Structure 1
């Protein structure tokens, strides 16, 4: 769980440090701007921008019932962020499994990626696709 928040906390800490140095130098406006940029980076790399994650077992059960794809992801992954942002409002139509929160999800990803935790891994109709193009995923919805 803490691993998912490491990068956002690092962005927040570094941004605060740089902003404090700028504020001490008298550039308060620059300090605020720098801190806001780092805060936005922290939010973008946090689990907050993704729909509520479900467990791998629950996602497989729900996917079997409703036919929606399953996305295995982790916080801080730039390819996961790209997929999430490019899907826009359609992101809620998928089942999202955070592999850092769910050991079964991590095991499922390792099983289809030769032991690697390569994300995003999207499972459509039982077939896994590693880092697919967001337009392709949207077409499968």
Structure 2
């Protein structure tokens, strides 16, 4: 079979494989947000695969390599009163043994845990070269 046929048809997966994939991919998302809350840009990049795609509305941003967050990224967030981000729900909506699509509901929070904003996004994590990483975020 060709690489395209292999990719489209794939191999049958066992239910346990998918449950493990969802758990591991969820841990990747949690590591990303832990790094985000620690204002750790290299830690965030370590949870991504590159090229990394972000759909912001109808605009596609593609990061070819780590280091694409602006250096003042967290200063911009702090200007809104942001202190931390919290997942309200993470739901896998499509999964295989090496790719999981999530709907991620999260809030940006300020002092006293006040909710500043609420977001619902689509994120995709894949296992590539032995490591789970986020390849796509759609805002």
Q: TM-score w.r.t. structure 2 length? A: 0.26
Judging by fraction of residues, say which structure has more strand. Answer: 2
Bigger radius of gyration, 1 or 2?
A: 1
Q: TM-score w.r.t. structure 1 length? A: 0.26
